[in-house]
Amino acid sequence: MIAQSDTETDAKYSDNFSVNTLTNKTSETLKSSATPLARNHWAQKHHYPTDKYNPNNIIETRVAKTNIAQTHMQQISIDCQSASLAVEAAVAIVINGIHYAVLMASPHQLEYLAVGFLFSEGLIQHSHELLDWEVTQLNDIENYQQFTQDSFMQDSFIKDSTNESLEFAQSLSSLQDYDIYVVELVLNQRCHQRIQAQRRQLAGRTGCGMCGITGLTQALPDLSIYRQNRQKADTPSLDCLLAIRQQVDTMQHTHQLTGAVHAAATMYNQQLYLFEDVGRHNALDKLIGWQLRNKVEISCVLMTSRLSIELVQKSIRGRIPWLVGMSAPTSTAVRVAERYGLGLAGFLRDNRVTYYSNYLDL
């Protein structure tokens, strides 16, 4: 049995391209990780010096003569620098030998990701239904060939392709561009029929929590059995939320390094547990997987992203009382949260938060 490390990655929430503010300790920690979360890449940064930047000048150069534009261009500074980029890996989920889905995710805490994903899909209800798991990285042509042959044959059976050999050779050569991990899971017999009935037909992209779902009832399920008692979900205070936000800001190292990952965080026993991923829905799945594996109850989850419908659905299934985002929710997310008793808040900033459901009556 091979499990991923439980060490939570840390970061300061920042959209800055430069990584000069990052400490050497953080950089060394990420570089020494068995599964790197970031890699360096040479990039060219074009920018105006702060004391010379004038938006009006930029507008003028669009309509001015060539010599004026050339003079203005001389003010632009160009720096070659090493940029840290978040690793985005293909994570193949194989359940009882069935190639179920491919997620684009950060290659960290993959056991939690897999458990949370299965729970969010409705394939498991409890963590004990997962009997065994193994995480493998595909890093040579022999691994690619063995794994993709099995996967390709299953897909070919569905599509009834007539050019199987040619397609397989072409797909094999393209895999060299990707970081690839395989998470093989063994579930009990009771879950097996659910797997066959609900198998996805497409890969799950980084920014999409519903890719591959073809039926409306699968994408927009009835979650009545997860309905929560509104009276039991105490509204978290602004001070409490700002305190959590401050801890997230100081602990989200991968985002500080790359500016390209989301986080899902919660407080449990006065300790912050933080889970990062290039996909916001993956980050929440990791948190839910951690919650199931450790059999703990939590009262509030903070997301560093907008609150879209798939995050609300996952939270309702996980019986999470409150979901709070640093950005806005969608109108559909609010309607569904209200229907099933999920507390929803957004725009958690330096001194404010906006409650959209389950808020106190004034």
Which member of 191, 208, 211, 300 is catalytic? 208
Where in 48-141 does DSSP place strands (E)? Answer: 77-86, 89-95, 98-105, 130-138
Contact 5, 113 (CB under 8 A): no
Alpha carbon distance 334, 343 (integer Å):
9
Contact 298, 319 (CB under 8 A): no
Contact 41, 82 (CB under 8 A): yes
Contact 276, 283 (CB under 8 A): yes
Contact 37, 108 (CB under 8 A): yes
Contact 236, 63 (CB under 8 A): no
Alpha carbon distance 302, 345 (integer Å):
9
Q: Name which of 259, 254, 248 is nearest 18 in CA terms.
A: 259
Q: How many CB atoms lie within 10 A of CB 252?
A: 24
Helix (H) or strand (E) holding 198: none
Q: Could you give the angle at which helices 331-340 and 309-317 cross, rounded to 10 degrees?
A: 20
Tokens of residue 180, six digits: 């690839």
Length of the chain: 362
Q: Name which of 230, 239, 265 is nearest 353 in CA terms.
A: 239
Cβ neighbours for 262, distance < 8 A, ≥ 6 positions apart: 255, 276, 277, 278, 279, 280, 283, 303, 304, 305
Identity of residue 245: R
Classify the C-alpha dihedral 30-91-326-314 as positive or negative: negative
CA distances from 21 to 12, 26, 258 (A): 10, 11, 12
Could you give the 3-state DSSP secondary structure of residue 36?
A: coil
Could you give the 3-state DSSP secondary structure of residue 235?
A: coil
Verify whether residue 240 is a known catalytic residue.
no
Write out the catalytic residue numbers. 208
